[in-house]
Amino acid sequence: MDTPIKYLSGEKIYLRIPYEEDAEVIYAGLNNESESRLMRGRQVPVKLTTVKQALQQPYQKSYAYLICLNENDEVIGEVSISQNGVEINRCGDFQIAIYKEEHFGSGKGTEATQLALQIAFGQLNLNRVQLEVFQSNERAINTYEKIGFIKEGIKRQAWYTDFDYQDCVMMSLLREEFINY
Catalytic residue of the set 27, 65, 99, 144? 144
pLDDT tens per residue across span 132-146: 999 999 999 999 999
d(CA 28, CA 75): 11
User: Is 39 among the domain residues?
Assistant: yes
Q: Would 1 be classed as within a structural domain?
A: no
Beta strands 164-174; 128-134: pairing state: antiparallel
d(CA 165, CA 155): 11
Number of domains in the chain: 1
Q: Is 144 noted as a catalytic residue in this protein?
A: yes
CATH code: domain of residue 118: 3.40.630.30
Q: How does pLDDT run across 39-88, given as a tens digit for each residue?
A: 544 555 677 777 667 766 665 556 889 999 999 999 999 999 987 666 67
Residue 51 lies inside a defined structural domain of this protein: yes
In this structure, is residue 169 part of a structural domain? Answer: yes
